[in-house]
Structures are given as structure tokens and as C-alpha cells.
């Protein structure tokens, strides 16, 4: 049985109407770290919209994810400034160190998710990557290994 209490609290906070859907989804994603499809029928019934509408909103906005994410979401910028300052080797090193196969974004242990983004708004610090809310600037493959090592040590992995 799925725990819907986080959704109930979000609907109490934002309301049970269509205009509250995005806020409720944001709250749900913050809690689950993604939007499990199991919540769609529940939300559809409570808010009074179709599951298709919810799915449409979730797939339209880039910040929403229906794929489970790791505890540490690593975003590697591949915008113009980062790309010309070698963000690709940073991304490749991340995938190598974390053992991610082609097309795989999240590690098996759900500790890390690696994503590429078009811009993190820190062009002067390029190449940049973010681990959750922490910005790491002037990244190199060597710095990638150090960041991952520090996280794993903190997690006792």
C-alpha cells in the first residue's frame, strides 16, 4: 500500500483544485525525489482532473521526473560556456566512476543520479556541476573523483 499522507498534507496546504496541481506535485517530488505513477490516480480523484492531465503536466515541465532519482542528484552543465571548457570529460568521468552504463542515469543503489542540463547560470565558473544544491566550479575529471569520494566517505560507502 502506498503512503498518500504527503499528498493529503500538500492538498490541505494548497487546495484540492486544478490550479493547485503543480504545487502539490512539487511537494510530492520534494518528498519522494520523483513522482511515482502510483500517485496519479489518487491525485486525479482528489483534485478532480484526469490522470492524463497529471501525466501531461509532469512530462511538460522539465523539473518533474517520473523516474526514481538517487539521494544525490548531480547536474552537469553542457551549455556553451561549459561545453567549450570541457564539460564532456567531466560527464564521462562521472559515468565511469559511478559505473553508469549507456543510457543509465541512476546508480543501482539509488545513491546517485547524473543529468545533463543546458545551463546552470554560472558561466563564469565553467565547467560547472551541481550536487543537489551545491555548485562545484572549474570541474575536471580529477575533481569529479574527489567529490564522489567525499560523498561516499560521508555515506560510509
CA-based end-to-end distance of the chain: 30
Per-residue model confidence as pLDDT tens digits over 27-43? 999 888 899 999 999 99
Position 157 scores a pLDDT of: 79
- How far is 121 from 37, CA to CA, in rounded Å? 31
Q: Please state, in angstroms and as integers, the Cα–Cα distance from residue 4 to each residue in 8, 24, 43, 77, following that order.
A: 6, 12, 9, 34
Position 1 scores a pLDDT of: 66
Per the omega criterion (within 30 degrees of 0), is the bond before 127 cis? yes
Instruction: List the one residue out of 91, 81, 157, 97 whose CA is nearest residue 129.
Output: 91
Per-residue model confidence as pLDDT tens digits over 51-82? 999 999 999 987 899 998 999 999 999 999 99
Which residues does residue 135 pair with via DSSP β-bridges, in sequence order? 130
Would the pTM count as exceeding 0.95? no
Per-residue model confidence as pLDDT tens digits over 113-155? 999 999 999 999 999 999 999 999 999 999 999 999 999 999 9
Order across the sheet with 72-77: list the strands.
112-117, 72-77, 129-131, 134-136
Amino acid at each position: 500500500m502506498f503512503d498518500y499522507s504527503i499528498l493529503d498534507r500538500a492538498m490541505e496546504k494548497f487546495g484540492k483544485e486544478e490550479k493547485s496541481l503543480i504545487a502539490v506535485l512539487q511537494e510530492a517530488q520534494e518528498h519522494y525525489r520523483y513522482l511515482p505513477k502510483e500517485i496519479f490516480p489518487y491525485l486525479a480523484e482528489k483534485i478532480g482532473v484526469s490522470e492524463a492531465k497529471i501525466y501531461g503536466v509532469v512530462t511538460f515541465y522539465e523539473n518533474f521526473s517520473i523516474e526514481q532519482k538517487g539521494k544525490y542528484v548531480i547536474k552537469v552543465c553542457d551549455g556553451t560556456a561549459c561545453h567549450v571548457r570541457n564539460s564532456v570529460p567531466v560527464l564521462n568521468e562521472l559515468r565511469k566512476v559511478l559505473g553508469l552504463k549507456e543510457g543509465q542515469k541512476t546508480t543501482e543503489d539509488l545513491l546517485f543520479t547524473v543529468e545533463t542540463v543546458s545551463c546552470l547560470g554560472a558561466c563564469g565558473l565553467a565547467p560547472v556541476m551541481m550536487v543537489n544544491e551545491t555548485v562545484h566550479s572549474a570541474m575536471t575529471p580529477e575533481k569529479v573523483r574527489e567529490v564522489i569520494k567525499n560523498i561516499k566517505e560521508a555515506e560510509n560507502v
